[in-house]
């Protein structure tokens, strides 16, 4: 894939590319926007370096991709309700979202994409892993695909492991009106609306069971899928610097922030973009 207005460098075989030659503090041209979209659909997650954007500039960049939406559990920063702080403070042990997941699959209409802008990073650690869910689906056996096609996954916002990763932020920045629990039901294999490719769409943070089955009945297949979908050969790893941005396709990629920097502060600004109902 060739580009005229940007430079794209792959960082791993499975997914992920760094983009160079673009200043996101300025409005994007139509050609830049189109080329970035092509690169994003090809690589699933794009990374940008040295983009020290103001909140207003960050929102302008987000709007070039889609419609920013508010996160259901944590309120946004002052003046920008769609930008939330993803942070871990020096005394905290749990990091926000510190488990493999696709963002908010417990919503009836999950987000199309998410983006993070690094404001403060620890002196070491705090990388984020990403995993390609096209590959996770395509490498399953034909027998497993036949078993899973047509199944619906029940996704909960209140699964214990992921709930603990939100506790500190809900205490400090939580929304008073947030519901106690969201439940979203989505196909186990969803078809990407732009590429037409199928992606595995379950995740250990939110998926509790298959619709029409008990947790116990669902567990063996789900436990296998949770291990399978994050095999090392499906992943890439990104090391943050202040001003780094990651933009990932929530419809076909999972992510996991590594919690290996106890005693240090890490602060990111996150925006999520409205999506469509998975099919």
Active site residues: 101, 103, 255, 270
Cα distance between residue 21 and residue 14, in whole Å: 23
74 closest CA partner among 53, 98, 104: 104
The one-character DSSP state at 174 is: B
Helix, strand, coil % in the chain, rounded to nearest 5: 25, 30, 50
Do 138 and 234 form a contact (C-beta atoms < 8 A)? Answer: no
Do 43 and 79 form a contact (C-beta atoms < 8 A)? Answer: no
Do 93 and 260 form a contact (C-beta atoms < 8 A)? Answer: no
Q: Which two tokens stand for residue 199?
A: 């992606």
């Amino acid at each position: 894939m060739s580009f005229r207005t940007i430079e794209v460098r792959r960082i791993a075989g499975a997914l992920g590319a760094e983009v160079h030659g673009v200043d996101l503090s300025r409005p994007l041209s139509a050609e830049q926007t189109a080329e970035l979209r092509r690169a994003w659909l090809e690589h699933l997650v794009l990374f940008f370096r040295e983009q020290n954007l103001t909140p207003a500039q960050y929102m302008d960049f987000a709007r070039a991709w889609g419609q920013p939406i508010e996160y259901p559990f944590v309120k946004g920063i002052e003046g920008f309700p769609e930008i939330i702080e993803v942070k871990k403070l020096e005394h905290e042990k749990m990091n926000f979202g510190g488990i493999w997941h696709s963002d908010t699959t417990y919503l009836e209409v999950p987000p199309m994409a998410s983006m993070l802008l690094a404001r403060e990073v620890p002196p070491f650690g705090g990388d984020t892993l990403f995993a390609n869910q096209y590959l996770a689906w395509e490498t399953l056996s034909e027998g497993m695909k036949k078993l899973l096609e047509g199944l619906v996954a029940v996704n909960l916002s209140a699964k214990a492991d992921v709930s603990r990763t939100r506790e500190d932020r809900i205490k400090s920045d939580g929304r008073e009106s947030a519901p106690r629990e969201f439940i979203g039901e989505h196909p186990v294999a969803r078809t990407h609306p732009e590429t037409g490719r199928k992606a595995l769409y379950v995740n250990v943070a939110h998926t509790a069971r298959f619709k029409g089955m008990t947790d116990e009945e669902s567990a063996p297949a789900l436990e296998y899928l949770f291990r399978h979908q994050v095999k090392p050969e499906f992943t890439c790893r990104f090391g943050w610097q202040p001003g780094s941005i990651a933009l990932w396709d929530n419809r076909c990629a999972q992510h996991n922030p590594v919690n290996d920097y106890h005693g240090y502060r890490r602060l990111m600004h996150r925006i999520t973009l409205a999506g469509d109902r998975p099919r």
